[in-house]
Amino acid sequence: MLLNVDNITIMPDDSDKTITKNVTFSMEEEEVHALIGPNGSGKSSIAYAIMGLKAYLPAQGKIIFKGKDITYASITERAKMGITLAWQEPVRFEGITIAEYLEIVAKNREESAKVLKLVNLDANKYLDRKCDNTLSGGERKRVEIAAAVAMNPKLLMLDEPDAGLDIIAYGELSSMLKKIKEETGASILIITHREETGGIADYASLMWDGQVIASGEFKEIMERYCLMARGEKKCMIEPCPKISFKARKQSV
Amino acid sequence: MYDRTLPEDIVQSAKTVGIIVDEMLNPESPKLLLNYNKIVGIKETKGLTIEGEELENGVMGDIIVEDGVKIKEPVHLCFGVTPSEGVQEIIPRFIVGDDAEVSFLAHCSFPNAIKFTHKMEGEMIIGKNSKLFYEERHYHGKNSGAKVYPVFEVHVGPKSKFISLFSLTHGTVGTVNINMDIYAHQEAKVEIETKAYGKNKKDRVEIRDAVFLEGKDSKSIIKMRAAATNGGVVLMKGITEANAPGATGHVDCKEIVQGFGSIVAAIPIVRVTDDHARVTHEAAVGRVSQKELDTLMARGLTEDEAVDMIIRGIM
């Protein structure tokens, strides 16, 4: 097993409010897993907890990565173990070029150009541009994904990769994610509430009011989500079984 | 006999601050290279005269660009000292004639400073319709043991342009106190950019850049960027006085403070004595945003490396 999120509850440092409660789900190597649910259901908070952001360290529960308890490891330690996150709203860095940003992890310009190509950006046009507010939201988002991919991660978390994209970029997203999956071989955790974005996922976990209420095959979970979004909560009654990823791969 | 070459320590620190050393040491490139109080290299070019006199503790020099002369390649200036203790005094005068253009790339290197003082008393006189670009990059070693006190007075002639870029962002600072007074004549333009980064509690930087817009329609911008971490202190004062009709100026200070005991202060001072003049200012002081840190740490940098990268970007 690659990742085991075991019963974690997140409460921000300065409040007694619970963001997520007893969240449990797991991922196998090479699995693409979608964390779906409405706005405010706690999806991004789970990604931040897996990444190790101080404000999102679990009040209880464990995060196990490749058999190692990383619940209280630093962000840097987790990154060095192969965990990374492409943010929903990437920050802009004043004075830092895209090449400099990518070369934190990419070995050289050539490697940086390669990851930019994966996100459909022309290296000749972009490498020397500043990673600041001269880039559009969509461009910055692609650069963010490229920087995460450049790490050659074991676990790549994409926090709402579809947010803020125009219709053309949105249309390209699915094939871009497929390419990333094929070329990196990374396990991918996609946080989304859109069916098209999560389309490459093998499995999904549905979050509602800070809890994972079902995990299973992506399509099935998405159907449940749609029903719940329409107010038909009866789908919560039956648990959704999760077939092991290895077993599913063997059956294909 | 004194060795009339530039010591390796100084050459290496030139590389550290991004000087293209091959260009600086190229026998054909215009230059004035000093090792403490010795002139170790002078190369003039057509229309550029460099004269220097060695003093007990330093060098006094005149650098003169004749009327109508436009020098394409940068003139390298190196004010280096390798001993860890002592006092160096440099008294340069830059005279740029009318319709002339020149750029200076100065490198002040004190790589082994422990109890060392560098004083500079400079003067720049720019004629009409000319352009002078002056960039000064400092490296003070790793011991915070340098005390650096440069004072400059600059006169920018009618329709001329003066651009100054000062940076002290590599290595430690020690104590730095810079004072620059710039007088802009009719339709003159002045651009000042100053960057300083104090990295520990022994580092203290005080910079005062003052522009006096004395001529009609003269213009200026002062841009100050500073960061203090781990107890460093950086105080910057950007002063613009507009004393003529149509004069316009702007002061822009941005500073970052990070870590216990660190202090930064940005003080834009604007003074207008003509009701057809205008000066604006903006200042921002704050810590590095947590999200920026988290983003870079998620790429594998440590917190200190991430802070450093963000500050260097702003610088």
pLDDT over 70 percentage in chain A: 90
Q: What is the mean pLDDT of residues A19-36?
A: 91
Strand order in the sheet with A60-65: A20-27, A3-10, A60-65, A68-69
- Is the Cβ pair A79, B291 closer than 8 Å? no
How far off is chain B from A22, nearest CA to CA, in Å?
25
Q: What is the mean pLDDT of residues A181-188?
A: 90
Q: Residue A177 has what pLDDT?
A: 87
- Is the Cβ pair B313, A74 closer than 8 Å? no
Instruction: Give the span between the Cα atoms of B8 and B162, in whole angstroms.
Output: 32
Q: Residue A183 has what pLDDT?
A: 87
Asked if pLDDT for residue A128 goes beyond 90, the answer is yes
Q: How far is CA A31 from the centre of its chain?
A: 12
> Which of A79, A90, A94 is nearest residue B313 as measured by Cβ atoms?
A94
Q: Residue A247 has what pLDDT?
A: 61
- Beta carbons within 8 Å of A16's beta carbon, 6+ residues apart: none
- Predicted confidence (pLDDT) per residue in B229-253, tens digit: 999 999 989 999 999 999 999 999 8
The model's confidence at residue A237, banded by pLDDT at 50, 70 and 90, is very low
Asked if pLDDT for residue A249 goes beyond 70, the answer is no
Instruction: Give the span between the Cα atoms of B308 and B158, in whole angstroms.
Output: 41
Asked if pLDDT for residue A236 goes beyond 50, the answer is no
B312: chain A residues, CB-CB within 8 Å? 95-96
- Beta carbons within 8 Å of B44's beta carbon, 6+ residues apart: B30, B50
- Predicted confidence (pLDDT) per residue in B252-300, tens digit: 988 889 888 999 888 889 999 999 999 999 888 888 889 999 999 999 9
Domains assigned to chain A: 3-89+154-251 (3.40.50.300)
Q: How far is CA B86 from the centre of its chain?
A: 22
| Helix %, strand %, coil % of chain A (to 5) | 40, 25, 40
- Is the Cβ pair A104, B301 closer than 8 Å? yes
Instruction: Give the span between the Cα atoms of B307 and B76, in whole angstroms.
Output: 32
The model's confidence at residue A244, banded by pLDDT at 50, 70 and 90, is low
**Mean pLDDT of all residues belonging to chain A:** 86
The model's confidence at residue A14, banded by pLDDT at 50, 70 and 90, is low
Q: Residue B2 has what pLDDT?
A: 42
Q: Residue B120 has what pLDDT?
A: 94
- Is the Cβ pair A96, B300 closer than 8 Å? no
Low-confidence ranges of chain B (pLDDT < 70): 1-4
Interface test with A, best of B289, B296, B312 (most A CBs within 10 A): B296
Pair type for strands B38-43 and B31-35: antiparallel
A74: chain B residues, CB-CB within 8 Å? 297
> Which of B299, B303, B315 is nearest residue A151 as measured by Cβ atoms?
B299
Q: What is the mean pLDDT of residues A38-43?
A: 89
Closest to B146 (Cα-Cα) out of B175, B121, B126, B166: B175
Asked if pLDDT for residue A122 goes beyond 50, the answer is yes
Q: What is the mean pLDDT of residues A199-208?
A: 88
B314: chain A residues, CB-CB within 8 Å? 94-95
Instruction: Give the span between the Cα atoms of A201 and A186, in whole angstroms.
Output: 12
Q: What is the mean pLDDT of residues A158-162?
A: 91
E strands, chain B, in order: 31-35, 38-43, 48-54, 58-65, 75-80, 85-96, 101-109, 115-126, 131-139, 146-156, 161-170, 175-184, 189-198, 204-213, 219-229, 233-242, 248-258, 263-272, 278-286
- Predicted confidence (pLDDT) per residue in A132-152, tens digit: 889 988 899 999 999 999 999
